[in-house]
Amino acid sequence: MKVELHCHTSRFSLCAVNTPDEMLARLVEEKYDAVFLTEHDALWSPQDIAFMQKRHPKIKIFPGLELTHHHDEGEGISHILILGTTDASFLFITDPEAIIAHAKKSDCLTIVAHPYRWTGADEFLKSSTLPDAMEGLTPNHSPRNAVLAHQAGKQLSLPIVNTSDAHAAKFIGRYWIETNIDFETPQQLREIIVAREYKNRVMAKKQPLLNE
Ligand SMILES: [Zn+2]
Ligand SMILES: [Zn+2]
């Protein structure tokens, strides 16, 4: 299965360019089998996910969230992906450890988004309760940052995943994960990632990554 773990749409993410229908059409065109819609600090309802699933039957659509955590008196920002959730209570938890603990209790996969995009290692990597995984290559996380993520992944025993972190349809299909295991639920996907039963993929043809 070809899987997108990190995808924004203009419906809930202000910085995203394309509508949910446009993003899903592109994912199907690129032969993805599953996607998690992970908006910035906003949640899809189960009803809206079901509605989109009917419109795009060729791809499995799951909910998710990219939660912003502010730290160092507003100076620092960290992002964490919480996959499979429709639980709005995440928006009101401010402590990194409590966010990760709540996700684990709900059996939701947690991925530190672009851990080296901003200064130093991400705040979530300093938590005493570690997340399940962290991002490697994305259009928002350069190859250099991905190397740092792989090094930290070794030290902390965390799996690394490639994603599109797609804010526009054109970013889809560059970096993704693939698994031979057919999954039906976000909980099964979590097991796959934790057991490292997947491969990171990169598109064969080299293209400029940013500011096209
Ligand atoms: Zn982010
Ligand atoms: Zn994102």
Share of the chain above pLDDT 90, in %: 84
> Is residue 78 one of the residues assigned to a domain?
yes
According to DSSP, the residues that pair with 80 across neighbouring strands are: 67, 112
Location of structure tokens 């990632």: 193
Token pair for residue 44?
A: 């899809």
Is pLDDT at 14 greater than 80 in this prediction? yes
Ligand nearest the Cα atom of residue 164:
2
Mean pLDDT of 6-24: 95
How confident is the model over 98-118, as pLDDT tens digits? 999 999 999 999 999 999 988
Tally of domains in the chain: 1
Residue 88's φ and ψ, nearest 5 degrees, are: -70, -15
Predicted structure pTM score = 0.94
Tell me if residue 205 falls in helix, strand or coil: coil
Taking alpha carbons only, the member of 58, 57, 104 closest to residue 85 is 104
Q: Which residue range forms the structural domain that includes residue 156?
A: 2-202
Ligand 2 centre from 44 Cα, in Å? 15
How confident is the model over 49-89, as pLDDT tens digits? 999 999 999 999 999 999 999 887 767 889 999 999 999 99
Ligand 1 centre from 66 Cα, in Å? 7
Instruction: Give the number of other CB atoms < 10 A from CB of residue 94.
Output: 10
In this structure, what CATH number is given to the domain that contains residue 169?
3.20.20.140
* Mean pLDDT over each residue of the chain, to the nearest integer: 93
Give, as one character, the DSSP assignment of residue 170.
G
Ligand 1 centre from 16 Cα, in Å? 12
> Is residue 58 one of the residues assigned to a domain?
yes
> Is residue 208 one of the residues assigned to a domain?
no
